[in-house]
Structure 1
């Protein structure tokens, strides 16, 4: 008997009984109690200070769960800042990241009480110093650094590629900390690889970062108190059986912390914090055999789950109802008029039919807010939270008339 992978039995029963609205061609649901348990485990260590990258999932219930855990917040836009502050999070618990910080945005964040900034360029450092002087403040700043290795691997975040994130050590080495008395330059930020699944690879990358970063701090002329290693801890979308071992990561980071001689190590977790606790459900609207391949056409596709089109990595999927049929490979397509609308070729029970529902796992990160719902005027997905053994609608599915003008 097969049923939804990674889906708790009580939640699976609740979803099978769910009757959505008339426009509900697909919906997200987030398991809040399971998320809270996971976040609590992440905080049971004294090696690193954790920040939650809000870009992964800015839903109010998720932010509230993160805040309750004691983890602080990495925000990269005014919209994310507003959303976090609306959940009664103190501005002092917010770190401002992002490559496109203008003087106006920096000044606004300072006015709102944010005191910690990752600066990505010489301009941003100057703007932060100017805004701080005008407002009579002295914020903390981390310089974001790009490093290059002889054999860097390719990755959506950049790896060795030229990206807008920070600057190289040679470019930063012309800065003198004493020239910016209104800013407390206290650390460096380095993050270039995303969704890593190997502790060994992560430790190797972290270890190579230490020497050039310590040297850069000496050249710029400040005491390196904070080293922010960003995120990059991955989840196993392809179900390879690989993944980051959290306790091993903490042991590795304890060595990095000692090697760098810093008072604080920071991590900014996104998908590793929330991905396993979100699901996406949609209907099968057609099944056919084409060129000897089995195909399923779904009520929604990359208009709700864009990630497969960007990364060529599908979300794991299962049939929501129980089935004892043998598994077969199915090519999964959404409703958009483009061949890009494909959610992968994945195994499902061979008795699947029109009207069945599929549930995609690991959809707690980079789901709803990374989607492209406007193309072809399809419906915007609904969102639910699962708590106290019941679903609560956060946002109803909306037809195109909701946003068309």
Structure 2
């Protein structure tokens, strides 16, 4: 469920017409719903009610500080994968004890920043990383709490580019090596073993891969306790999918996910950490764009928009589907025609949809890309000299720009011309 609904013939974000925002900030723009963010976070919290748990939002899905602060006020922790994301979480008011540092390539500088600023735990992905973290912590005279990320060799059954738990993937430590690496971790200075971490991928629409991975985590936890390790936290990652199209069967609900966690891991008495991103923020955001031109081609017709692949990369990168709807409500049962929906970037890959059935739209009309709150703005760029689009947060009948569109002068001013090229 989201809070983007037609009212009086116009698509609204909560109580604000998207046309009003378009008049104020121009197009394209991202728009997020506070009510949807709140509802989706609470679904995860309620799914784990009665268990000791922390819901950490995956900052990579959407790192806007206003989004992070909205979730932090609800009690969310944060899962970060870089020093920049760590800084964003801290800027949003999240204390270090609610920040988990994941990622396969943490640098000594990033480790030092997190240890000095406060950290709940590092999810360590390799033996070399473990050795470096030990050295940094010892140098600072402190202790780094860690969970080792275990690669359970479970296929998430999702897109190849977002599967992370197979033996051929770059993530984590093979489950067969885990006991040896935990023994090494326990012997290193500056390291405190606190838990086990696993994350098998993103946009999962079936609980079976989760259950298979969590079963391996349960077996490993019992073995590690036999080895003398105090395993008190289980970090289960994120990955639960969202419905990108209303016509498909809905993915499992957080309530079912929580029940499966209790069934597979509840007997261990561990604190549970989960790190959802997409399900919290995906359907809480839309990308609104204007039609620049209708273009008749040879055997196909095009809608050329002012949004492009640099604004929403997922269709070009993953072949991802987003429902695309007119902001002005179409007539029920009215005529439709197939359109290729494309952007203005000089790449054939700048295509959002092919042969998509669309109601009549004309130049100047507004279209909304649904389910664009996750990995939309966070993956955007200034390719082709196009400014990053503004982000807007709605709360009831109010809206505010939470990231402004930069001017061309602001973009260019970030470049430095060397002395020998000055006049």
Number of aligned residues: 398
Which one of the candidate residues 185, 204, 207 is aligned to 1:196?
204
Which one of the candidate residues 135, 139, 150 is aligned to 1:134?
139
- Following superposition, the deviation at residue 67 of structure 1 comes to 0.8
- Which residue does 2:50 correspond to in 1? 46
- Following superposition, the deviation at residue 213 of structure 1 comes to 5.6
Q: Relative to 1, partners in 2 of residues 1:115 and 1:201: Cα closer, same or farther, differing over 3 Å?
A: closer
SS of equivalent residue, structure 1 residue 376 = helix
Q: Relative to 1, partners in 2 of residues 1:285 and 1:150: Cα closer, same or farther, differing over 3 Å?
A: closer
- Following superposition, the deviation at residue 236 of structure 1 comes to 1.4
SS of equivalent residue, structure 1 residue 332 = strand
2:395 is aligned with 1:387: yes
- Which residue does 2:275 correspond to in 1? 268
Which one of the candidate residues 330, 342, 348 is aligned to 1:333?
342
TM-score by length of structure 1 reads 0.90
SS of equivalent residue, structure 1 residue 61 = helix
Deviates more, 1:229-238 or 1:31-40: 31-40
- Following superposition, the deviation at residue 38 of structure 1 comes to 2.7
Which one of the candidate residues 144, 159, 169 is aligned to 1:163?
169
Aligned partners of 2:324 and 2:369 also within 8 Å: yes
Aligned partners of 1:74 and 1:97 also within 8 Å: yes
- Which residue does 1:7 correspond to in 2? 5
Q: Relative to 1, partners in 2 of residues 1:200 and 1:169: Cα closer, same or farther, differing over 3 Å?
A: closer
SS of equivalent residue, structure 1 residue 269 = coil
Take 1:165 and 1:267, find their aligned partners in 2: how far apart are those partners? 17
Which one of the candidate residues 172, 180, 187 is aligned to 2:188?
180
Structure 1 gaps, min length 5: none
2:362 is aligned with 1:357: no
Aligned partners of 1:156 and 1:311 also within 8 Å: yes
Alignment of 1:142-291 (within 5 A): 142-149=147-154, 155-158=160-163, 159-160=165-166, 162-175=168-181, 176=183, 177-212=185-220, 214-215=222-223, 217=224, 221-239=228-246, 240-258=248-266, 261-291=268-298
- Following superposition, the deviation at residue 282 of structure 1 comes to 0.5
- Which residue does 2:36 correspond to in 1? 34
Aligned partners of 1:319 and 1:358 also within 8 Å: yes
Take 2:405 and 2:379, find their aligned partners in 1: how far apart are those partners? 16
C-alpha RMSD of the superposition? 2.5
Take 1:195 and 1:103, find their aligned partners in 2: how far apart are those partners? 31
TM-score by length of structure 2 reads 0.86
Deviates more, 1:54-63 or 1:127-136: 127-136
Take 2:96 and 2:196, find their aligned partners in 1: how far apart are those partners? 21
- Which residue does 1:67 correspond to in 2? 72
Aligned partners of 1:5 and 1:361 also within 8 Å: no
SS of equivalent residue, structure 1 residue 18 = helix
SS of equivalent residue, structure 2 residue 368 = strand
Structure 2 gaps, min length 5: 416-423
SS of equivalent residue, structure 1 residue 114 = coil
Take 2:38 and 2:186, find their aligned partners in 1: how far apart are those partners? 43
Aligned partners of 2:155 and 2:200 also within 8 Å: no
Q: Relative to 1, partners in 2 of residues 1:379 and 1:108: Cα closer, same or farther, differing over 3 Å?
A: closer
